Structure formats: structure tokens, C-alpha cells
Amino acid sequence: MIKIAPSILSADFANLAQSVQVVEQAGAEYLHIDVMDGHFVPNITIGPLIVKALRPNSNMVFDVHLMINNPDAYVPEFIKAGADLVCVHAEACPHLHRSLSQIKELGAKVGVALNPHTPLNVIEYVLPMLDLVLLMTVNPGFGGQKFIPEVLPKIKMLSNMIQERGLATEIEIDGGINTETAPLVAQAGANVLVAGSAIFGATNPAQAVADIRKSAGA
Ligand code: DX5
Ligand code: ZN
């Protein structure tokens, strides 16, 4: 089962509630919310205030992707604001087990994001704690970048790792997903597909959600 996670990074920020409604009605399962701090990545985006403002407007799973340094300091606020799933970057967490434990204790689902170059072995000993692993297929910071195909074998390897251990961890892919790349990542074992520009940059975002799902064979 493929889940679609539209990234509001490419939505119209003056009409966010409306954009969210469109993709929710189109059947998207997750709402991908990209949080950037201008330090971990060279861009600044969304804070907990926006998550809180959107929360009463949607029943989608709020999938909050923290591209920030020192995420431990901000996790409680994002969960209070309505995050259902919180992803921290392994590269930003020197005490990853502690960071993940905090998210779990606060009652949210827990994910780890890995940059394209980061090997899978950094999550080897925390994998059983994870609801989701987010593999970046672009260098994080901006929407509309080109898919990095070198990550495909990493998706397959993670999928094998999860199967061998009998886990139910979801594999989310983020960056450059469209109707051409969705089938590649789905075939490699991904089941949650983030798409920003391919959905909100389309003339008909609802149709784009359906097209990406269909291209992935779902
Ligand atoms: C990039 C963000 C992505 C971004 C994806 O740093 O994490 O979620 O919105 O945008 P597209 O789908 O346009 O590559
Ligand atoms: Zn993201």
C-alpha cells in the first residue's frame, strides 16, 4: 500500500488551509511539513505556529520533517502543536537514541531522516524503535530539486533490513518524486512518497496525487 505525502513547502503560503484541503480530499494520507532553520539547511520555513494553525483544518497524519539543529529543544512544541509523526535527521542528533525516546514518550510516532550520503548503519541499533525511516533523494533545503538515483540501492537495502528483522517500519522517500521516479522508489520498497513541486506545482494538484499513486502501481 502506497501512501502519498504532499509537501506543503511548494504550496501557496497565503492560502495554506485551502491547499491542504485539496490534497486531503484527493485522498493523500500524510501531510508532509518541512521545518528548516537556516542552520542545518540553508533555508528557513515553517515553525510550530503554522502546524498549530493548520491542525483544526485537517485530519491527515501530520508528518513533520525537522531539518533543524538541536531538534530535541523543539520537539515538545511541535507535538503540542499537532504533529502526529516527527522525523529528526540522524546528522543533527549526536544522541539519537535520546532524541527518539523523547518523541515516543510525548506520544508521537517516530522517524529518522537520512541525507543521501548517510549510510544505513547509523540506524542499525535504533531500527526497532522506529515507525518510519525517511530517505532523502535530494540534499535537503529546497523543493523542486532533481532526484538522486544513487539512493535507489539504499532503499532496497533498507527494505531488506526491515523484512529480515520482521519489522513494520515504513520507508518514506523525499525529494524529486514525480510520476517518473515514483515507480522506481516503490519498486525498491518505499511505501510513503513525499511530493512537493510535482503536486502543488501542477495545475491540478488533486489529479497529481492520483497520478503519482497510479504511477507507483497502487
Ligand atoms: C526538501 C524537503 C522536501 C521538499 C520536496 O528539503 O524535505 O520535502 O518539499 O520537494 P520536491 O517534491 O519538489 O522535491
Ligand atoms: Zn521533507
Q: Are strands 85-89 and 61-67 parallel, antiparallel or unpaired?
A: parallel
pLDDT tens track, the chain, 218 positions: 999 999 999 999 999 999 999 999 999 999 999 999 999 999 999 999 999 999 999 999 999 999 999 999 999 999 999 999 999 999 999 999 999 999 999 999 999 999 999 999 999 999 999 999 999 999 999 999 999 999 999 999 999 999 999 999 999 999 999 999 999 999 999 999 999 999 999 999 999 999 999 999 97
Q: Is 6 near ligand 1, meaning CB less than 6 Å away?
A: no
| Residue span of the structural domain in which 89 resides | 3-216
The number of distinct structural domains making up the chain is 1
Closest CA to 143 of 20, 13, 3, 2: 13
- Which atom of ligand 1 is the closest one to the Cα of 175? 14
Return the residue matching grid coordinates 525529494. Answer: 175
Q: Is 141 near ligand 1, meaning CB less than 6 Å away?
A: yes
CA-to-CA distance for 114 and 120, rounded, in angstroms? 8
Burial code (b: 16+ CB inside 10 Å, e: under 16) for 25-40 equals ebebbbbbbbbbbeeb
Ligand 2 centre to CA of 74 (Å) is 17
Q: Give the CATH number of the domain where residue 75 resides.
A: 3.20.20.70
